[in-house]
Chains A and B, each alone.
Chain A
């Protein structure tokens, strides 16, 4: 898939998300999840629009079950926005790009 969205796993979550200097938007998804596929183009568009301001990464909940359990992912797609290692925003389910952008803007100041 598109180059701007990095794959993150349980073993790289700490480094790539929690220790990131930039805010990180994490897309929790799985290969069997239809709505996740539908959200992918939106997430990729956000990654392009916010390049340099927000890192956008994705976590496959089948492979990285620890991250999914730690952050109580109970329906996917779920997007979590991390700032300074803390989750500050949770978006569950399909979301139009405009609303997602508005949510990010709120935290970017």
Chain B
């Protein structure tokens, strides 16, 4: 039996993809030249003042509504004071005691079970800049600052500590990421740092109600690293407790190259951020009318969509999971079905050939030339026996490349199936005559030999003969002789 229960809570930071920063008009672009996306306000120059970006508040409210939060009608911003070179004012404008959203929840499937994790709060704050260290110049004593990211709106989503394994924590993070992407408030790109998941993790003896001492883990750029870090930390803490030691409350950095966590440089003293209300901003009042305006603009969330796909389209749970991986993919599927195609066929094409083409081109579905209308038309052409499934694959390849409609491709290239039995019969007779060996094999009872002959007929018609007709006619011709 397991000796300890793992307890994990998560702080997730997501950069909001608003057009401008939280308190100034600067637009932020990842990868822009250092300090190109800055102005006196986000650089914290003397005398400048912040003004709240209403759209950022709207994005936070969307996230709050999508995660079942209570939206606070009266909210405010506070100053969180600490010195760090990437923080232009040496205080961060954040939210302390009156966050925009409280008491939410996120539901997701984990190990075949439905799990719900409660959220403590979601608040809005400004992101910091970035230090650029010595490798740029080769002089190890110098650091440079890039403030492009400083002031970008950041959503902080704080869960209750009620997740019980690293794997479950990952499932939770994926669910949050999915929601944020679905509602269009963040692109959640972990490698670019627009989504940062910071777990706090502790162990306690099985059955205990009291929380153990926790550690926080920072610095992970992928779910794999996050998982590795948490798994390592569970083992590390278990070892300490087994040996009768005490876990120290501290912030740890995960080093992906060694697979280990280590305490952040320097001893952490008790943080005192000296929070106090931001006097340069007025409080935020969110009236019910505005909420009623925002609510209907929320899309169907991934969990609800999966359930609908399963119930209405008879799609398997596994396939529904695949099809809702991104909002765009699910939209594509939904639209293709609405164009009149049979859902299972749509799903198979999307998960099969469409995905194959996307992967090969390293492309997302929303950027592809193939649209739901293309797919729907393609399936229609198969259903009415205009083309075979095999020809359809090449038509899709072509459409993917050129964006042309399948009907036009079939017409241009003369790909319609030959369904004229006399025409097929003439070719069949030629093939049987040209290949007496396999024909004799078939007659001698080696039924498999027909495959070769079918292949030869298809080859002669460049794939356009209706395969079923070819089979029928071949069988008849061979048994007649």
Q: Verify that A and B bind, or say they do not.
A: no
Q: List residues of B whose CB falls within 8 A of some A CB.
A: none
Q: List residues of A whose CB falls within 8 A of some B CB.
A: none
